[in-house]
Amino acid sequence: MPVPITAEEIHSLITQAIPDARVQVRDTTGGGDHYEAFVVSPSFSGKTKVNRHRMVYGALQDAMVQRIHALALTTLTPEELQQEQSANVVNIQTRKPR
């Protein structure tokens, strides 16, 4: 059985592949196999949600097959994040309106 991956490892893999990204990763169950990642990058500009997710999944490659059971992704450009925060006053840590 593979060793569980940590949020820090996921963060590192994403930022290695998408160097301009701001990344937050949270273990949603505490078991080391269900995660939520919030990724903000100018590299997402002009890309569909599917292509943005492919970029992130590409960064995680083998980890997605062997060590991560589930990954919920939110992928935004800096401009989209700013619009979302302005419209909803979103806390980037929890992504919940205050």
Give the percent of the chain with pLDDT over 70. 88
Q: Domain count of the chain?
A: 1
Of residues 94 and 81, more confidently modeled: 81
pTM summary value: 0.84
Which domain CATH number covers 58?
3.30.300.90
pLDDT in tens, 4-57: 899 999 999 999 999 999 999 999 998 888 999 999 999 999 999 999 999 999
| Domain assignment present for 19 | yes
Strand order in the sheet with 22-27: 22-27, 34-40, 70-76
- Give pLDDT, residue 92: 54
Domain of residue 60, residue span: 7-97
Q: How confident is the model at residue 79 (pLDDT cuts 50, 70, 90)?
A: very high
| Domain assignment present for 2 | no
